[in-house]
Amino acid sequence: MFRPHQSADGVPPVFGARWFWLLLVWLSCWAGINGGPWYLKEAPQDFVDWVNALRTLGPLLPLVLWPLLSPLLRQRHRVPTLAEGLWIGYALLALLAALLTGTDFPVWYWAFAYLGVFAAIDWSFGTVDPLPRAMATNRLIWLLTTLLFIGMLFIARDVLLVKSELGMTAHGLVHRTDLGRFGAISRSTGMARLAMIPAVVGLVMALGGHGFRRLIWAALSLAALVAIWLFQARQGIVGAAFALGLVVWLFGGRIRYVGIGTMLLAGLALLEGLFPEDWLRYLIDFATRGDALSKLQSMTGRDLIWRLGWRVVEAAPWLGSGPEADRRLIGLNAQNGLLYAALAAGYPGAALYLGGLVWGWVLFARAVLRGYARDHAQWLFLLQVGGIMAYLTIRNIPENTAALYSVDLLLHAPLLAYLGTLERVRGPEWQRARLAQSVADLGRRGRLGA
């Protein structure tokens, strides 16, 4: 059995360095966001060129360095769980499609960057106490996401809010903040995705925490939700409703009853016309950005993009065309996770991607129903995982999300890995307890029959 070398006090010598490597490996993955292989076309000429080249290589570093450094860190590679394995299989099929269809490095890069995220998970989870490490890794990622969100708000502070016909809004303005040769920061809809992390985490901690800290968590969650509203990110608003609704429902007890009661009272008040009509019209117009019904039905032109995309898929249904096939073959963003996966890796790749998404929910349902979360802290963490995953799942409909290397993948893949690890650790224990209970029940029935 593998045992790391111990120091005099029984602590592995790499313990102090573990957090350094954990932070470094995820910073390298995040560094590639809003970067790309175009920064590697020419040799760097100055400081900015070097920074862009290094951050573009960042997502590849875990994939390259982990096999080399793991013996020095006295850690072994872990076998990916099924949910991770399905998405890794999808990425490998996309890479194979890129190689067979004659594309070059700028296309291969995205498949390698995708795989680099799973190499980072291997770095993070290790082989000793994988469940605590899985939880720590996700918490670190959530912290990085929140800090990134705050940093982007600060950078865009001068153009963040303007007064429009519908009042103060941040929609469509954040992307005007350009960092020059470092590139532009995320659009307002992408910022809403970042805001969802503190919104969910803060809500769960506010509902399940203790003392004065609950107010701090509640303030954090409320501030993030206000930001999502001001961004007028429609998928963000809908996704937030699903995510927070799931959290409140799963919390159970008085919190669930209060949530249901609030919804019923609001519905009755709406039916009775107790809300001012002007106020309701304003909320609807703001949430929909004032778009006409026909534009909403077409999902802002996405129906046309989807039709074009599926025609391209039908031309290469079993092989696919590799990463970035939507931009190369359609000239547009696919605007749907499953469509992007089918374009990149054909029907087999789309099936693997969808399988990983669905299996993640199966694992979450098992964890809830079987009571894998053994204490209050673990239960709160599981609720946070479910809320974030609910938002990311809804986001798959109007956006490419985790089907490509993106912020969504950096958030979603560690969630799947945690749920798979939770099943791997707690599943056998649950099976043994269930078997023991069945044997005890049979013995009890036998004694009663005698």
Task: Yes or no: say if 117 and 404 are a contact pair by the CB < 8 Å rule.
Answer: no
Res 174 pLDDT > 90: no
What residue type is assigned to position 107 of the chain?
A: V
In the block, residue with structure tokens 């029959």? 449
pLDDT, position 112: 95
Number of structural domains in the chain: 1
pLDDT, position 264: 82
Cα(449)–Cα(388) distance, integer angstroms: 51
Of the candidate ranges 79-88, 249-258, 389-398, the one whose mean pLDDT is the lowest:
249-258
Question: Confidence band (pLDDT; 50, 70, 90) for 364?
Answer: very high
pLDDT digits (tens, 9 = 90+) for 4-14: 333 333 334 43
Taking residues 108-134, report their average pLDDT. 89
pTM of the model: 0.89
Of the candidate ranges 62-66, 227-231, 322-326, 446-450, the one whose mean pLDDT is the lowest:
446-450
Taking residues 411-427, report their average pLDDT. 95
Residue 99 in any domain: the answer is yes
pLDDT, position 422: 95
Task: Find how far residue 404's CA is from the centre of its chain.
Answer: 12
Task: Yes or no: say if 60 and 116 are a contact pair by the CB < 8 Å rule.
Answer: yes
In the block, residue with structure tokens 């099936």? 351
Task: Yes or no: say if 137 and 121 are a contact pair by the CB < 8 Å rule.
Answer: yes
pLDDT, position 218: 94
Q: What's the domain range around 142?
A: 80-124+132-449
Res 135 pLDDT > 60: yes
pLDDT digits (tens, 9 = 90+) for 188-218: 777 888 999 999 999 999 999 888 899 999 9
- Burial profile 242-268: b = 16 or more Cβ within 10 angstroms, e = fewer: ebbebbbebbeeeeeeebeeeeeeeee
Four-residue CA torsion sign, 241, 247, 249, 254: negative
Question: Confidence band (pLDDT; 50, 70, 90) for 105?
Answer: confident
Taking residues 440-449, report their average pLDDT. 70
Task: Find how far residue 329's CA is from the centre of its chain.
Answer: 27
Residue 61 in any domain: the answer is no
pLDDT, position 209: 85
Cα(386)–Cα(380) distance, integer angstroms: 10
Cα(268)–Cα(249) distance, integer angstroms: 20
Residue 120 in any domain: the answer is yes
pLDDT, position 260: 81
pLDDT, position 366: 95
Taking residues 397-417, report their average pLDDT. 93
Mean pLDDT, the chain, rounded, equals: 83
Q: Output 207 or 185, whichever has higher pLDDT.
A: 207
What percentage of residues in the chain have a pLDDT greater than 70?
Answer: 82
pLDDT, position 429: 85
Residue 21 in any domain: the answer is no
pLDDT, position 257: 82
pLDDT, position 301: 65
pLDDT digits (tens, 9 = 90+) for 265-283: 877 876 766 767 776 776 6
Task: Yes or no: say if 175 and 188 are a contact pair by the CB < 8 Å rule.
Answer: yes
Residue 373 in any domain: the answer is yes
**Other CB atoms within 10 A of residue 300 CB:** 14
pLDDT, position 231: 83
Distances (CA, A) of 207 to 141, 247, 318, 322: 22, 10, 47, 44
Taking residues 98-110, report their average pLDDT. 89
Question: Confidence band (pLDDT; 50, 70, 90) for 307?
Answer: confident
Picking from 68, 50, 337, 48, the residue whose alpha carbon sits closest to that of residue 180 is 48
Task: Yes or no: say if 88 and 111 are a contact pair by the CB < 8 Å rule.
Answer: no
Res 180 pLDDT > 50: yes
Cross-strand bridge partners of residue 168: 163
Taking residues 152-175, report their average pLDDT. 70
pLDDT, position 290: 64
Taking residues 392-408, report their average pLDDT. 91
Structure tokens at 227: 């930001």
pLDDT digits (tens, 9 = 90+) for 227-238: 888 887 777 888
Question: Confidence band (pLDDT; 50, 70, 90) for 76?
Answer: confident
pLDDT, position 171: 66
pLDDT, position 56: 92
Res 285 pLDDT > 80: no
State phi, psi for 184 to the nearest 5 degrees: -95, 155
pLDDT digits (tens, 9 = 90+) for 86-102: 999 999 999 999 999 88
Residue 117 half-sphere exposure, CB side, CA atoms within 13 Å?
32
Picking from 288, 327, 286, 305, the residue whose alpha carbon sits closest to that of residue 398 is 305
Residue 329 in any domain: the answer is yes
Residue 12 in any domain: the answer is no
Residue 43 in any domain: the answer is no
Distances (CA, A) of 242 to 38, 115, 125, 155, 360: 37, 29, 29, 30, 17
Res 357 pLDDT > 90: yes
